[in-house]
Amino acid sequence: MGEINYMAEFGTRLIANGYSILPIAPGTKKPGRYRSGAWGEFPGWPQYGERCPTELEVATWSKWPGAGIGVVGGAVAAIDIDILDDPDLALAVEKLCREHLGDSPALRIGRAPKRLLVYRTATPFKGIKRHPLEVLCAGQQFVAYAVHPDTGAPYVWPEEGLADLDIDSLPEITEAQALAFLDAAMALIPERLRPVRLETGTSEKPATGLAQEGTLPAIKSALAWLPNADLDYDSWMRVGMALKGALGDCGADLFATWSGQAGKNDPAVTDKSWASFNPTNIGAGTIYHMAMERGWKPDAALVLDGSVKADPVHPAAGLLAVMAGGDENSEAETSSEWRPNLSPFDLTLPPGLIGALTDYMLKTARRPQPLLSLGASLCAVGALMGRNYRTTSNLRSNLYIVGIADSGSGKNHSREIVNELFVTAGLSLHLGGNKIASGSGLLTAVHRQPAILFQIDEFGMFLAAAADRRKSPRHITDILDNLTELYTAAGGIFLGAEYANRDGQNDRKDINQPCVCVYGTTTPLHFWGALQGANVVDGSLARFIVLPTEDDYPEENTRTGQRHAPRSLIKGLSLIAKGGAHQGRGNLVGKTSGLDAVVDPMIVPMEPEARDIFHGISQSITADLRKAKGTMFTPILARIAENAQKIALVLAVGRNPEVPRISAADATWSISFVRHFAERTMLDVERNVADNETDRNHKRIREILRKAGKAGLTLTEVGRKTQYLEKRKRDEILVALIEAKQIKTAQRPTNTKPAMIYRSLELTR
């Protein structure tokens, strides 16, 4: 008898009941992914805290052997009572939980007497741990249906399981209520079960200026002042993260020895936890600070800063240099983590229809925006090419492009020109609405005209609603899901959703080789504010080519007047819409939608030199993907070659619709264009996209200092620009950024004494 697949049995019911779920690898409590016949890690699982999985994802997981089910925290919170050796105490805490938070019907037991109760939240909050009790919520998950790895028996729900409980039937709790319960419950916990906590002192500035990297002698000396007398989990994790940040993998033995001081130490768990640590803003400064608060005074002979070579004149010169600002030539810091470099790109209009259309937009614009006009032109021609042309590898011309510029910068002009030209050429059937009201509305439009262009103003606001799976209704979030699926279905068949009542209105909408192009315009504030890390990790953003204007307010063109579209433009657009006027190719015979539509696109060959160029970029991207493994950049990197080939296809057809060939020039221009703006997007993601308020504040201060350049800002100047922050929080962020080597301190000469300034270590784009 094979392993039970709980995902196949309960997955669909849990989704219908309002829970966000994910697959659990058999024999574990961790999210897992089944690939190439084996279970492995599932690094992208936190995205399901932002959205529920789609029906397609659940159907895929249901085929994975032995898949258990985890429920993602956020919309729900789970009270985990981790008491094993005292059944009466476990029951007493459960009773207290029901008295404080409500009588939840959702009680789960894995290894009795340990138990877990599930509640609903209106506002998700970060999990709270007070060992042996924990409230699991945002950013966490718990196993709902699986075989317990210790008992070998299934988890049980003695009353009612979540598969039988609608999420709205659970009692609702708040973070304040959860904290109040923990305070009351901890009074029941005897001293023998309470962990020793490694408290920090009240100093506002722990180790300001200290580097993240330390030296082994100094760390050993400091760690001796931090004995591990059965510390609580959070304190143990904090020391472990700081040790790895300070010494890297060289600190593994030191952490194992230090962890071994505790009676409850499990070497296997210690080793596994060490391997999972990935510190970015914690290191030697944290260890030194905690030790100093307990009386440690570093010997003068100790070198504290491991990032610089010891100076024979002064053993702490490296540390002092960092604290004082260091060498003016030390702006370029190196890091072992892969980061994008901005490759050069000079904007020159390509020959053919794309260049001609862009040029017409610029000549008729009051405020010419070359980059935005180019993006609109690519999408317009790409939509008309839809189902008429393809590459030898079956790539199509469906492009998603976003133009970013401030209000009043002339974003609307290119969209207006496209509308006018399509109407004049009799191609208005290829224009979708300026707004998409629902996922089903999108599919209806594409079913009616599978080669279609949507031009969306205020795209950032649209994206904010479509990407917000917590607050937006399903018919809105379905828009982004459908766009994602349509993007990948351009060379095949899109199968629409099934409805219970097929009445003509709700019949499944199948589309043969849909070609959807999206050109959106937005302001930077709305666009980056709409995104979260999940949109980057799940590939939603990677499908878009993001084009931020170089000049929000270019010189005004005073010679614009009445617009007269050149006949050559109208003729070129019409010819492409007909598939180069080739009979039997691209002309849809009769029915245009559904699986029986006649679609026979012309294959556009690639010249040998162009093929070699694309082969080279593919190898280069593969190397970058390997270096960037584990970062949020990989989805964007992975789409560079594909988007470049699509644009090369559009350029080739725009140059010669009747006998198109992708040339080396097409390949070179397209790769330079796509790679440059993909790298710029990655940098902007790093600077602007955050999943929580803490991360957002860190990035705001980093960006403020980056824009200040080498002149830097004094603490007072930073305070004026960050008045939305309390002084304590601002100071903590500055300390963390210094420790993470993202900013540094320096001195600015004044008429009196030098002023201390803060300066970004990333001064150029």
Give the integer Cα–Cα distance in Å for 139 and 144: 16
With CA atoms as reference, report the closest residue to 118 among 71, 152, 175.
71
Q: Name the least confident of 48-57, 156-165, 420-429, 533-542.
A: 533-542
With CA atoms as reference, report the closest residue to 224 among 216, 213, 234, 235.
216
Q: Is the pLDDT of residue 333 over 50?
A: no
The answer to whether 669 and 613 have CB atoms below 8 angstroms apart is no
Q: Is the pLDDT of residue 693 over 80?
A: no
Q: Is the pLDDT of residue 573 over 90?
A: yes
Contacts of 751 (CB under 8 A, 6+ apart): none
Q: In this predicted structure, what is the pLDDT of residue 178?
A: 94
Mean pLDDT of 612-629: 90
Q: In this predicted structure, what is the pLDDT of residue 504?
A: 54
Q: Is the pLDDT of residue 535 over 70?
A: no
The answer to whether 67 and 12 have CB atoms below 8 angstroms apart is no
Mean pLDDT of 575-603: 67
Q: Is the pLDDT of residue 500 over 80?
A: no
Give the integer Cα–Cα distance in Å for 75 and 92: 26
Instruction: Give every strand in the sheet of 755-760, ordered side by side.
Output: 713-714, 755-760, 743-748
Mean pLDDT of 715-722: 85
Secondary structure letter of residue 135 according to DSSP: E
Q: Name the least confident of 399-408, 640-649, 728-737.
A: 728-737
Mean pLDDT of 393-419: 91
Reading the block at residue 504, the tokens are: 């003509």
Contacts of 322 (CB under 8 A, 6+ apart): 209, 210, 211, 305, 307, 308, 738, 744, 745
Contacts of 518 (CB under 8 A, 6+ apart): 379, 399, 400, 401, 453, 454, 456, 483, 544
Q: Is the pLDDT of residue 313 over 80?
A: no
| C-alpha distance across the termini of the chain, in Å | 59
With CA atoms as reference, report the closest residue to 110 among 69, 161, 152, 76.
152
Mean pLDDT of 55-78: 92
With CA atoms as reference, report the closest residue to 261 among 217, 231, 292.
231
pLDDT in tens, 590-619: 446 555 667 889 999 999 999 999 999 998
pLDDT in tens, 645-687: 999 999 999 999 999 999 999 999 999 999 999 998 888 887 7
pLDDT in tens, 80-114: 999 999 999 999 999 999 999 999 999 999 999 99
Q: Is the pLDDT of residue 330 over 50?
A: no
Q: In this predicted structure, what is the pLDDT of residue 609?
A: 92
Give the integer Cα–Cα distance in Å for 537 and 633: 8
Q: Name the least confident of 161-170, 264-273, 485-494.
A: 264-273
pLDDT in tens, 430-467: 999 989 999 889 999 999 999 999 999 888 888 888 87
Q: In this predicted structure, what is the pLDDT of residue 532?
A: 65
Helix (H, G, I), strand (E, B) or coil at 723: coil
| DSSP element (H, E) containing 58 | helix 55-61
Mean pLDDT of 20-25: 95
More confident residue, 78 or 1: 78
Q: β-strands 141-145, 107-108: how paired? A: unpaired
Neighbours of 147 (CB within 10 A): 21
- Range with the largest mean pLDDT of 118-127, 199-208, 740-749: 118-127
Q: β-strands 76-81, 133-136: how paired? A: antiparallel
Give the integer Cα–Cα distance in Å for 11 and 555: 58
Mean pLDDT of 734-747: 79
The answer to whether 71 and 19 have CB atoms below 8 angstroms apart is yes
Q: In this predicted structure, what is the pLDDT of residue 372?
A: 94
